[in-house]
Amino acid sequence: MIFGISGILSLEQGFSSLLGEGHHFENHMINYIVLAIAFGFEANALRIALVQFKKPITERGDKVRPSTLYSEFKHSKDTSILTVVVEDTAALLGIGIAAVGILLTDITGNTIYDSIISIVIGVLLMSFAFFLAKENRGLLIGESISPKHRKQIIDIVSSIPEVNKVITMKTMHLSPIIVIVGIEVNLIDGLDTDKIETITDMIEQEIMTILPNSNKEYIFVEIER
């Protein structure tokens, strides 16, 4: 809502100035000072957010590089960190775009540049609003684990000698770290009840190695009859 409303207001200001009588700057230096102060605050906030964002990557032992950052951003379920990173990134982009518009207006004396930049910032904010809504929607209606984690679970369960194959697996995030896992497996013949219970416990433990922050109570193992 914050991104969407801000985007609408920015579009409204840009179009009203562009299609109307325009507007006038009384003191360009004040604009530069405000933007510089805002840039400093937002850059520091983004730095702090990125430190938290990179923690899961370093904890897995991976190197922090553009590809791993993109993968983490794409598959992360922590909407609070995603929101902060997106908000600060949008703010810095908006500040940079606004500075360009003010500078062009200052140089040429034509406020059309400032009006156009206002429209561009409005589109930028609404685009980020759409992105955040899309990301949050998945967790609100029930989002499955990432394809990477799904493959890891299937591979590690299939590697158990007594498991013939994994029949089906359903997952759903209850929170960024708590996941419901329902898995159905086919076991080799000739296993007694005690052995089946042991294998079931082993499957649960193996899944917990892939999802260490999840709760064992939410892991359900079904043996195909």
What is the pLDDT confidence band of residue 55, given thresholds at 50, 70 and 90? confident
Phi, psi (degrees; rounded to nearest 5) at 182: -120, 120
Q: Mean pLDDT across the stretch 132-137?
A: 77
Interval 169-197: pLDDT, tens: 999 887 777 889 999 999 988 888 889 99
The pLDDT score that the predictor gives to residue 81 is: 77
The pLDDT score that the predictor gives to residue 59 is: 74
Cβ contacts of 163 within 8 Å, gap of 6 or more: 157, 185, 186, 187, 188, 199, 203
Q: Mean pLDDT across the stretch 122-148?
A: 81
Task: Sketch the domain layout of the chain as residue ranges.
Answer: 2-141, 147-223
pLDDT over 70 at 23, yes or no? no
What is the pLDDT confidence band of residue 4, given thresholds at 50, 70 and 90? confident
The pLDDT score that the predictor gives to residue 129 is: 85
**CA-based radius of gyration for the chain:** 26
3-state DSSP helix/strand/coil percent for the chain, to nearest 5? 70, 10, 20
What's the whole-number average pLDDT of the chain?
Answer: 85
What is the pTM assigned to this prediction?
0.63
The pLDDT score that the predictor gives to residue 97 is: 92
The pLDDT score that the predictor gives to residue 176 is: 72
- The three-state secondary structure class of 185 is strand
CA-CA distance, 70 to 124, in Å (whole number)?
20
The pLDDT score that the predictor gives to residue 70 is: 75
Q: Mean pLDDT across the stretch 50-69?
A: 78
What is the pLDDT confidence band of residue 34, given thresholds at 50, 70 and 90? very high
The dihedral sign for the CA sequence 133, 135, 137, 140: negative
CATH 1.20.1300.10 fits 147-223, yes or no: no
> Percentage of the chain with pLDDT > 90?
28
